[in-house]
């Protein structure tokens, strides 16, 4: 087995909130090879963002309890690390791009300063060097007249430009793993396509591993080689794009595919997933999707289906899969 860039085994994340425990992530196992591009898809409350934020321990651990059999980033167990060691990891090993660039950028610092913050800390560049690198990075992410932009503040830029700045920041240290959490959701559709193309281009050039987190399967069709579907804090299906889109195994994946907005199918011919997502405060000892599933049986309502290999590099957690039945 080659060295994985990310190796998660049975990850659980529980939040305490006003006397309730919210089980956001309930046993996620995921392994990523260097250079691999994976999409993680799920609805709000599926635990996708929380799971991915646990990777660099970005959650507030006063509220979030993280537990895992293994949580290794580039061969290092993340859970035992101290603050300093974690900081050394964030940037060169793993970087993030979030949905809302405005709240992820510091409003009082110039763009150039923020983009090269990591470089100055990790590589010890001086001011002049950092400025040159910053201009270079901004140019790479398609920001016009970067010589002017480095001295500006985030609020002087449009939404699309800010997201580009975030990308420049995240890529400054050439991380081995880039995690993009809904990076285009806040952007307009015509800008979205441009940003996706940009990130994709850089990923190919640098050869880093990447995780795209989104609620939109259609978006992943273009960017991900492999797609992980999450529901109710668990992975329900994990398969190469080539098989997942044409023949999903899990009924939830099928439902998501049937629900995407698309030009080739009028909405009257689309079938929505009935019902509502599970309450993360509830402990479920059954398939979380069973109440919404057309194939559910008593078995589904009484036991948690294990995530099993189904051939074709596919894993699925379903007692009655649509394809690839054991």
Residues that bind another protein (CB under 8 A): 18-20, 43-44, 144, 158-161, 188-194, 197, 215-219, 221-222, 241-242, 245-246, 255-264, 266-268, 270-274, 276-277
Identity of the residue, 87 or 156, whose beta carbon is nearer to another protein in the bound complex? 156
Q: For the CB of residue 172, give the shortest distance to another protein in the complex, in Å.
A: 22
- Cα(first)–Cα(last) distance of the chain, in Å? 25
Element holding 195 (H helix, E strand): helix 189-206
DSSP, res 140: H
What is the smallest separation between the CB atom of 101 and another protein, expressed in angstroms? 13
| Dihedral sign, Cα of residue 77, residue 80, residue 85, residue 87 | positive
**Shortest Cβ distance from residue 231 to another protein (Å)?**
10
Structure tokens that stand for 4 in this block? 């994985």
Question: How far apart (Å, rounded) are the C-alpha atoms in residues 248 and 257?
Answer: 9
Cα 219 from Cα 142, distance rounded (Å): 21
Least distance to another protein, CB of residue 272, Å: 4
CB nearer to another protein: give 98 or 289. 289
Tokens of 133: 């690198």
* CA-CA-CA-CA dihedral for 217, 223, 226, 230, to nearest 10: -30
Distance in angstroms (rounded) separating the CA atoms of residues 315 and 324: 9
> Which DSSP string do the residues of 262-275 spell out, in sequence order?
-SSS-GGG--PPPS
d(CA 181, CA 161): 17
Q: Which whole-number Å values give the CA distances from 45 to 78, 79, 116, 223, in the listed order?
A: 24, 23, 34, 23
State in angstroms the smallest separation of the CB of 267 from another protein. Answer: 5
Q: How far is the CB of 181 from another protein (least distance, A)?
A: 15
Nearest-angstrom CA–CA distance, 320 and 307 = 12
* Min dist. Cβ of residue 96 to another protein (A): 22
Nearer to another protein, 83 or 267 (CB): 267
Cβ pair 92, 122 in contact under 8 A: yes
Closest contact distance (angstroms) between CB of 93 and another protein is: 29
Q: Which is nearer to another protein, 79 or 191 (CB)?
A: 191
**Between 2 and 44, whose beta carbon lies closer to another protein?**
44
Q: Which is nearer to another protein, 218 or 304 (CB)?
A: 218
Structure tokens at 84: 């300093």
Measured from the CB atom, is 27 or 255 closer to another protein? 255
Return the number of the residue (92 or 142) whose C-beta is nearest another protein: 142
- In the block, tokens 């999707």 appear at 289
Phi/psi for 167 (5° steps) reads -65, -45
């Amino acid at each position: 087995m080659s060295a994985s860039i990310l190796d998660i085994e049975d990850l659980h994340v529980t939040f305490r909130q006003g006397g309730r425990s919210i089980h956001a992530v309930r046993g996620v196992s995921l392994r990523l090879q260097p250079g691999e591009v994976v999409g993680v898809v799920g609805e709000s409350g599926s635990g996708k963002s929380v799971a991915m934020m646990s990777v660099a321990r970005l959650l507030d651990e006063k509220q979030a309890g993280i537990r895992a059999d293994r949580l290794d980033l580039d061969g290092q167990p993340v859970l035992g690390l101290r603050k300093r060691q974690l900081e050394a990891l964030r940037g060169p090993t793993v970087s993030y791009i979030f949905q809302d660039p405005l709240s992820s950028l510091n409003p009082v610092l110039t763009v150039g300063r923020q983009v090269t913050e990591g470089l100055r800390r990790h590589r010890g560049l001086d001011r002049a060097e950092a400025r040159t690198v910053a201009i270079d990075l901004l140019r790479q992410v398609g920001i016009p007249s970067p010589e002017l932009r480095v001295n500006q503040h985030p609020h002087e830029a449009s939404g699309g430009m800010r997201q580009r700045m975030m990308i420049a920041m995240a890529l400054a240290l050439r991380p081995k793993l880039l995690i993009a959490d809904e990076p285009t959701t806040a952007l307009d559709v015509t800008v979205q396509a441009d940003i996706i193309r940009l990130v994709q281009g850089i990923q190919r050039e640098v050869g880093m591993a990447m995780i795209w987190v989104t609620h939109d399967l259609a978006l992943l069709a273009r960017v991900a080689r492999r797609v992980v579907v999450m529901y109710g804090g668990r992975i329900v299906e994990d398969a190469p794009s080539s098989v997942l889109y044409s023949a999903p195994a899990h009924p939830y994946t099928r439902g998501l595919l049937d629900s995407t907005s698309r030009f080739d199918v009028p909405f009257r011919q689309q079938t929505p997933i009935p019902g509502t997502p599970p309450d993360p405060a509830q402990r479920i000892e059954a398939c979380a999707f069973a109440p919404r599933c057309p194939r559910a049986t008593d078995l589904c309502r009484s036991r948690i289906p294990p995530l099993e290999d189904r051939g074709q590099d596919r894993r699925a957690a379903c007692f009655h899969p649509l394809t690839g039945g054991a």
